[in-house]
């Protein structure tokens, strides 16, 4: 990527370095403290933090896992280019997160599952749906979440610091992997709480400086529409012409709900399409749900969701507005339109709106605070990556590895979980060249599209699985496959032809690519739902005795459930017990022969990783009640009313904000 010619600023003064070093020390110490606080030797302890987290850490972790460096770069960049409608993604989440806490998590909790594919396996029986979900979730993680966050972190580091991209990203990934691997979910959630503070504090400081720079909110409203670059005539009229709409700020830049045909984010898409994506991301995705499952009780889950909702009000003000301010202050850089000039400024011809946030950090912040902003970006990047690492390792361990090796002991599962994190780190590092090769302006469009084309079937199946008892395995499976086919029909041609830009529109035929991706998400969701219901009603239903505590209407029932996968589980459990018996006999024989020869280093590593010598007795005890005691979803009335009324207040605030900016 090209470097900024004149304003190369490097972090080389004491203030910045102290701030960054202090940040890393804090993160690592919180991680280490969390290590000693929880038992990471059991599956429940490692992957679900022992189900002991309080509401504030649940809320902060939800926010920090969600907000990655992709938000800083992407929200600010899209805000600079198109106005505030992109903040609708954030404010939509306010409602979805309440859906999560009130409707979905009670069902997941009483079902007693750790991963989402596990839930589908219990709900529908059979193995193909859970396998499909695990694979597609891992695929979506690697290609949407990890790549977006790493790309954005790379953009920031390159623009703001000029460091070598491989060195910085590898260092970041290794530090993240370190406290992810050792600490498990508990360490993650506690560090997330710390990182939420850092993110919000730093972002507030930058927002304050930006508004001071342009002269207040009213100045933003008036100056944005005149943020036009000075060079807007084509340098090569043979190849292209630049129409005025390509470089003039949008007239509806300050409204959330835009025209349904001419808008870049049409309002039906914003209201319904974002909701569908939100249902996938917040209510059925492992990363987010795992944090809710780790909470102490249902009331803590709900309170945590409310905290997360309030925090989600902030990105509009902390990221979108500064992005727009950046365009006002630097229209020739952030708002560049001539391809040759853009290539000089940020290295890609498509556009340079992605440098909106890093540019502000480099130019407006005094030293010391620049280090703080770098810490903020690192906090966002590391918290998201760590969460994704942990959740993908959970998915891989509990769903894919247990299928490959049903006889795995708990200890083996935990080790495999950790090794998988290393594998994902390596895959992420190998992804960097791809990220660099893709034109930066288009990567975000690709990411949005991939989510909109692949996630609506999953959202539809989960919604129907939780609320409609009649839906059975055949319906869900064929719905997922049909939805996937439909999504690929749109996604592959669009990848092939490219999304194009304002100056060089794409060659994709209108029939395929003409529909906005949010509208397509709505269509895909409805078609999948119809397909699921159709096939389900044509085949036999699942009896109630298999569905107690797996659907919303039966979430309070106390009857004994006959799991659809109980045979499989029984076989696995007895096989595991036999394997452990044999191992214990062998181990006893060996220790008798050799005495205590375990070296100090072995014990140290074991203690560091939470696998102690008396693991086997722990294993026995844990294996006996390895089916987690059904978490109680009853709530004390006092707290229930408090939490419910708080949710109402939050929804009223959200509705007011939507109404104000509509």
Short-list 82, 662, 61, CA closest to 391: 61
Nearest approach in angstroms of CB 94 to other proteins is 12
Q: Which of 226, 241, 507, 617 binds other proteins (CB under 8 A)?
A: 226
Work out whether 661 is an interface residue with other proteins (CB under 8 A): yes
Q: Which of 419, 533, 534, 651 binds other proteins (CB under 8 A)?
A: 651
Q: Considering only residues 98 through 117, tell me which ones interact with other proteins, judged by CB under 8 A.
A: 102
d(CA 95, CA 105): 15
d(CA 486, CA 523): 10
H-helix or E-strand containing 371?
helix 369-395
Give the residue with the Cβ less far from other proteins, 255 or 344: 255
Work out whether 659 is an interface residue with other proteins (CB under 8 A): yes
Compute how many residues bind other proteins; rule: CB under 8 A. Answer: 32
Give the residue with the Cβ less far from other proteins, 135 or 515: 515
d(CA 112, CA 372): 41
Give the residue with the Cβ less far from other proteins, 82 or 117: 82
Work out whether 645 is an interface residue with other proteins (CB under 8 A): no
d(CA 512, CA 510): 5
Short-list 223, 150, 651, CA closest to 425: 150
Interface characters, 16-55, with other proteins (x: CB under 8 A): ----------------------------------------
Give the residue with the Cβ less far from other proteins, 343 or 640: 640
Contact 540, 472 (CB under 8 A): yes
Q: How far is CA 211 from CA 42, 56, 202, 328, in A?
A: 50, 30, 14, 11
Work out whether 94 is an interface residue with other proteins (CB under 8 A): no
Work out whether 554 is an interface residue with other proteins (CB under 8 A): no
Short-list 475, 109, 549, 487, CA closest to 298: 109
Contact 519, 269 (CB under 8 A): yes
d(CA 288, CA 300): 15
Short-list 366, 424, 410, CA closest to 624: 410
Nearest approach in angstroms of CB 261 to other proteins is 8
Work out whether 559 is an interface residue with other proteins (CB under 8 A): no
d(CA 563, CA 569): 9
Work out whether 640 is an interface residue with other proteins (CB under 8 A): yes
Work out whether 273 is an interface residue with other proteins (CB under 8 A): no
Backbone angles phi, psi at 505, to 5 degrees: -65, 155
Work out whether 444 is an interface residue with other proteins (CB under 8 A): no
Contact 532, 471 (CB under 8 A): yes
Give the residue with the Cβ less far from other proteins, 92 or 134: 92
Task: List, in order, residues 6 or more apart from 279 with CB less than 8 Å away.
Answer: 96, 99, 459, 462, 463
* Tokens matching residue 189: 């959630």
| 240 backbone φψ class: left, alpha, beta (φ>0; ψ -120 to 50) | beta
Work out whether 431 is an interface residue with other proteins (CB under 8 A): no
Q: Which of 3, 8, 239, 251 binds other proteins (CB under 8 A)?
A: 251
Q: Which of 427, 489, 630, 655 binds other proteins (CB under 8 A)?
A: 655
Q: Which of 127, 182, 225, 626 binds other proteins (CB under 8 A)?
A: 225
Q: Considering only residues 253 through 272, tell me which ones interact with other proteins, judged by CB under 8 A.
A: 255, 257-260, 262-263, 267
Task: List, in order, residues 6 or more apart from 36 with CB less than 8 Å away.
Answer: none
Contact 202, 209 (CB under 8 A): no
Give the residue with the Cβ less far from other proteins, 627 or 636: 636
Give the residue with the Cβ less far from other proteins, 179 or 267: 267
Give the angle subtended at the CA of 203 by the CAs of 215 and 376, to the nearest 5°.
145
Contact 67, 384 (CB under 8 A): yes
Give the residue with the Cβ less far from other proteins, 13 or 222: 222
Stretch that binds other proteins, among 108-116, 571-579, 608-616, 645-653 (CB under 8 A): 645-653
d(CA 389, CA 425): 8
Nearest approach in angstroms of CB 116 to other proteins is 22
Stretch that binds other proteins, among 248-256, 342-350, 360-368, 600-608 (CB under 8 A): 248-256
Work out whether 648 is an interface residue with other proteins (CB under 8 A): yes
Contact 407, 572 (CB under 8 A): yes
Nearest approach in angstroms of CB 661 to other proteins is 7
Work out whether 656 is an interface residue with other proteins (CB under 8 A): yes
Work out whether 201 is an interface residue with other proteins (CB under 8 A): no
Stretch that binds other proteins, among 124-132, 164-172, 490-498, 634-642 (CB under 8 A): 634-642
Burial letters 586-611, b for 16+ CB under 10 A, else e = eeeeeeeeeeeeeeeeeeeeeeebbb
Stretch that binds other proteins, among 331-339, 356-364, 393-401, 640-648 (CB under 8 A): 640-648
Work out whether 660 is an interface residue with other proteins (CB under 8 A): yes
Stretch that binds other proteins, among 217-225, 314-322, 528-536, 612-620 (CB under 8 A): 217-225
Q: What is the dihedral of CA 235, 236, 237, 240, to 10 degrees?
A: -100
Nearest approach in angstroms of CB 67 to other proteins is 25
Give the residue with the Cβ less far from other proteins, 222 or 507: 222
d(CA 125, CA 104): 19
Work out whether 658 is an interface residue with other proteins (CB under 8 A): yes
Give the residue with the Cβ less far from other proteins, 263 or 304: 263
Positions in the binding site for other proteins (CB under 8 A):
102, 221-222, 225-226, 251-252, 255, 257-260, 262-263, 267, 556, 634-635, 637, 640, 644, 648, 651-652, 655-662
């Amino acid at each position: 990527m090209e470097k900024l010619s004149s304003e190369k600023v490097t972090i080389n003064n004491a203030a910045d370095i102290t701030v960054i070093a202090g940040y890393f020390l804090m993160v690592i110490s919180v991680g280490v403290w969390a290590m000693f606080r929880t038992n990471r030797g059991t599956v429940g302890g490692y992957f679900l933090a022992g189900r002991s987290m309080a509401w504030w850490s649940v809320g902060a972790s939800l926010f920090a896992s969600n907000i990655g460096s992709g938000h800083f770069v992407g929200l600010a960049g899209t805000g600079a280019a198109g106005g505030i409608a992109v903040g609708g993604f954030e404010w939509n989440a306010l409602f979805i997160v309440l859906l999560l806490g009130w409707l979905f998590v009670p069902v997941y909790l009483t079902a007693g599952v750790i991963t989402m594919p596990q839930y589908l396996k219990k709900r529908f029986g059979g193995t193909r749906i859970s396998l499909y979900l695990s694979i597609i979730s891992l695929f979506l993680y690697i290609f949407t979440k990890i790549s977006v966050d790493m790309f954005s972190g790379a953009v920031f580091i390159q623009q703001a610091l000029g460091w070598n991209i491989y060195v910085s990203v590898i260092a970041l990934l290794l530090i993240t992997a370190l406290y992810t691997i050792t600490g498990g979910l508990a360490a993650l959630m506690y560090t997330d709480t710390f990182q939420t503070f850092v993110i919000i504090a730093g972002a507030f400081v930058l927002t304050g400086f930006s508004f001071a720079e342009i002269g207040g909110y009213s100045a933003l409203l008036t100056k944005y529409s005149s943020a036009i670059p000075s060079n807007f005539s084509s340098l090569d009229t043979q190849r292209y012409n630049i129409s005025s709409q390509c470089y003039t700020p949008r007239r509806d830049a300050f409204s959330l709900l835009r025209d349904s045909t001419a808008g870049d984010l049409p309002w039906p898409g914003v209201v319904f399409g974002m909701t569908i994506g939100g249902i996938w991301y917040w209510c059925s995705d492992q990363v987010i749900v795992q944090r809710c499952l780790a909470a102490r009780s249902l009331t803590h889950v709900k309170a945590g969701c409310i905290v997360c909702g309030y925090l989600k009000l902030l990105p509009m003000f902390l990221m979108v507005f500064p992005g727009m301010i950046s365009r006002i202050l630097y229209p020739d850089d952030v708002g560049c339109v001539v391809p040759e000039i853009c290539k000089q400024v940020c290295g890609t011809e498509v556009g340079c709106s992605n440098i909106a946030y890093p540019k502000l950090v480099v130019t407006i912040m005094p030293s010391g605070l620049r280090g703080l902003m770098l810490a903020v970006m690192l906090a966002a990047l590391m918290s998201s990556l760590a969460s994704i690492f942990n959740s993908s390792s959970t998915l891989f361990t509990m769903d894919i590895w247990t299928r490959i090796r049903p006889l795995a002991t708990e200890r083996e599962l935990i080790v495999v979980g950790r090794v998988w994190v290393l594998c994902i780190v390596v895959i992420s590092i190998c992804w960097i060249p791809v990220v660099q090769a893709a034109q930066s302006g288009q990567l975000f469009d690709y990411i949005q599209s991939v989510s909109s084309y692949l996630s609506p079937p999953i959202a539809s199946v989960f919604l129907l699985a939780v609320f409609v008892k009649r839906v059975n395995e055949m319906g869900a499976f064929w719905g997922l496959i049909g939805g996937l086919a439909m999504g690929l029909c749109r996604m592959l041609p669009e990848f092939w032809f490219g999304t194009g830009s304002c100056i060089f529109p794409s060659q994709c035929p209108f029939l395929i690519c003409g529909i906005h991706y949010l509208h397509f998400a709505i269509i895909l969701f409805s078609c999948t739902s119809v397909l699921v219901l159709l096939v389900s009603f044509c085949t036999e239903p699942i009896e109630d005795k298999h569905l107690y505590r797996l659907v919303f209407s039966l979430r309070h029932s106390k009857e004994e459930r006959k799991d659809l996968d109980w045979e499989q589980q029984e076989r696995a459990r007895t096989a595991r017990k036999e394997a452990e018996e044999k191992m214990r006999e062998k181990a006893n024989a060996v220790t008798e022969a050799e005495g205590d020869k375990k070296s100090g280093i072995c014990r140290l590593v074991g203690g560091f990783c939470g696998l102690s010598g008396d693991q086997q007795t722990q294993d026995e005890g844990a294996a006996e009640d390895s089916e987690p005691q059904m978490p109680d979803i009853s709530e004390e009335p006092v707290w229930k009313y408090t939490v419910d009324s708080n949710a109402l207040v939050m929804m009223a605030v959200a509705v007011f904000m939507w109404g104000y900016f509509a």
